[in-house]
Chain A
């Protein structure tokens, strides 16, 4: 049976275990004077049996499925002839690939060398045995555990306590997925980055002014030498984010102020969702809009007034990104502005200030930490935004602060490096992970500061 079939069988087994355990508890109960004399309700005995049957057998299946490939390929490698075994690791890997492909589809005729055919035959045999063994082990583990629990069911067994413990651990495990995700992100970008920094010094990466990741594959090839100075990428990212923030912060903030302070509740309740639609539009749509509508318009307007605007200008990407971030800034600012206590406003009005003076002199200063936190979150959004810049910004790394020229960003380079054909383990591929590490670190720091600021501010008025 293949693994997906085993999953179905396992679920079936668990269901049977539930019914068996529940039935057993009822029959035990009839000996002691009915269900009311059981320690727990019959449901808990069923659930306990199902847990004891399901969890160990599924764990066994998972561990088995993770490690079996490794052991099987080790056995096959051990049985290869001596001269093959002494090959380098990458050659051996290639050879094993051929063996695996031959084993899966012998009619391909990938190789006619006897040791490969032999190994493929052996691999096929081992895989069949392994699958059989896995099926038997999985089902028997489930049945044995089910029987053992079934036999242990007594009228005074505290099944509910056990089940509730298991339930709590299950919930805790789910909550820990967030930790595992963070750890996974850190490990995945860190390890590959470390390998990247083995071939390119950290200082060259952080302070180099030249980015041209194209490496010569062979020594005699004409082509780039590969320069990994990320400063142009950081500058491009900053430029586009800055344009975006110049659009988003004033517009978002003013919109939030108007909605929170002036607008009639009815107007507010219609306008707010309309603005939030902007946040719900997928970024790929903004990218399309930026590349096919905004960029040509900017280029044509530029040539009308005698300006040379690149068709992949930073301005187009930045403008559209700014529009995307408006609702983000406005809803965060709206929250903090409405959190400012009414007494502050009343005090200001009482001294004769106009509404706008109250807002400028009292409400905004009071809400400032929260607004700053929101803006920081928006900046981290802008830095990490990918699709708009991939579609509307350029590829070539120019070190410029001119918004009419084409610049490239960190996220664009990550996408361009990892999409399509990759040279495995080359510094070019690994550089994407180093850029990812930078991106993750910067956004993490920004988020952390922003969340702390917002939290502090909230405590102040609560």
Chain B
């Protein structure tokens, strides 16, 4: 190779260097761009949900003076619980509203006026009277829930009364609401209903307690079954299983099940648990069984990893002291692997908590008002409640859906944080 050709090569390389460095920079920028895209999506998702949902934690109430007039209520014997239960509390609320707006007349206008208050107001009064029968005949003030349309209007208007979202409210209703606001008897308070009641067709009375209890019972069944079975399976595969076709078959099965779409597990639950074993639909027991089968692969895989991380020297030492196989496993290996297995179980459970599709299949989408009290009561789960509400046309349900999502995310994030904390705290490096 002579000098001139060397120079030519060098020149070529030098000429192309700028281009190659540009390509290098571009490539780096693509990588950063991809990461930024992912993070932006995450931020947009969270701000969107929080932006839509934060207002649901407050609920507009209106202060009305009501007179528990025994004639209006049709109660002549206050000691009779049946009369108290069946009394006409709505009439009391209506009378109070008519008193407040005496110039409203005509059937249609009156109905429009009454529609400002949530139609659950009578239950509230009944509860008050049941708790304290002395209130009969007295006049006192009560903060009532307003109807969801009024609630939406109150939340969306600015302080000087502009830009309210009228929705289904008519002109007159808005004037009444404005006069109530000017009087200062309408105010936003923390929405306790949202956390203490079950589902309802009326947004202002709808809450997530029923769904949370349903999710809780479902998860209880899931953890009670999937953790012991998952750990046992992992112990078998790691500590006992001979290397043969059968073991390999089990492993292939587990790996495949981990990637089977969740809806397929729903079909399994529908035809085996409900169709064949004739269990009831919509109950947390069946939901828990289905989610157990679904989370089992996750728990087995992570438990195996935890068992693998226990060094063989521990086992050898125990054998050396004369321990039997079961003693080695139960007394030494499992306790040492427990933090890792718990972490895996919590992550699996978090997955199960967010799962919706299989629960739809086994009928946990029913409209359940009562708060479930056990694993055989009809129930829905939190994600299913989100799905149900997201279908509702009322604007007030959009904010409640977002709020329910926020609650669900809080649960998921705390579970995952707990898992990470457990791992950091208890994990031992060998």
Contact = CB atoms under 8 A, between A and B. Distances in A.
B135 interface: no
Interface in A351-401: 354-357, 359-360, 377, 380-381, 383-387, 390-391
A443 B259 contact: yes
B62 interface: no
Interface stretch (A125-133, A163-171, A197-205, A306-314): A163-171
Interface stretch (A147-155, A184-192, A338-346): A184-192
A418 B362 CA distance: 9
Interface in B398-419: 398, 401-402, 405, 408-409, 412, 416
Which of B49, B262, B365, B387 has the most chain A CB within a 10 Å cutoff? B387
B300 interface: yes
B35 interface: yes
Contacts of A433: 267, 271
B235 interface: yes
Interface stretch (A102-110, A218-226, A254-262): A254-262
Which of B26, B278, B361 has the most chain A CB within a 10 Å cutoff? B361
A181 interface: yes
A259 B326 CA distance: 43
Contacts of B278: 69
A167 B328 CA distance: 13
A439 B357 contact: no
A254 B33 contact: yes
A440 B265 CA distance: 10
Contacts, number: 257
B253 A179 contact: yes
Interface residues of A, number: 89
A385 B259 CA distance: 11
B38 A448 contact: no
Contact of A439 (B41, B42, B263, B272): B263
A444 interface: yes
B268 A188 contact: yes
A271 interface: yes
B236 A258 contact: no
A419 B365 contact: yes
A280 B409 CA distance: 9
B30 A254 contact: yes
Given A175-B233, A284-B386, A387-B356, A259 B38 contact: no
B140 interface: no
Contacts of B365: 419
B45 A281 contact: yes
Interface string B16-48: 000011011011101111110111011001001
A291 B390 contact: yes
A412 to B, nearest CB: 10
Given A188-B267, A250-B34, A357-B20, A415 B48 contact: no
Contacts of B326: 160, 163-164, 167-168
A251 B38 contact: yes
A188 B271 contact: yes
Nearest to A442: B261
Nearest to A174: B232
A443 B261 contact: yes
A175 B42 contact: no
A42 interface: no
Contacts of B45: 281, 285-286, 289, 323
B180 interface: no
Nearest to B28: A262
A171 B24 contact: no
A224 to B, nearest CB: 24
A317 interface: no
A436 interface: yes
Contacts of A21: none
Contacts of A357: 20, 23-24
Q: Interface residues of B: mostly helix, strand, loop or mixed?
A: helix
A27 interface: no
Nearest to A188: B271
Contacts of B259: 377, 380-381, 443, 447, 450
A282 B355 contact: yes
B224 interface: no
Contacts of B265: 185
Given A323-B41, A384-B261, A285 B232 contact: no
Given A167-B326, A285-B408, A326 B49 contact: no
B241 interface: yes
A391 B263 contact: no
B354 interface: yes
Contacts of A355: 24, 27
A314 B422 CA distance: 41
A177 interface: yes
Nearest to A418: B361
B256 A285 contact: no
A174 B233 contact: yes
Nearest to A384: B261
Interface in A97-144: none
B261 A411 contact: yes
Contacts of B214: none
A215 interface: no
A104 to B, nearest CB: 14
B169 interface: no
A185 B356 contact: no
A177 B38 contact: no
6 contacts: A171-B240, A172-B236, A182-B257, A188-B272, A274-B42, A360-B27
Given A185-B260, A354-B24, 12 more contacts: A168-B236, A182-B253, A188-B272, A251-B37, A275-B42, A284-B405, A285-B386, A288-B49, A288-B390, A354-B20, A380-B259, A443-B261
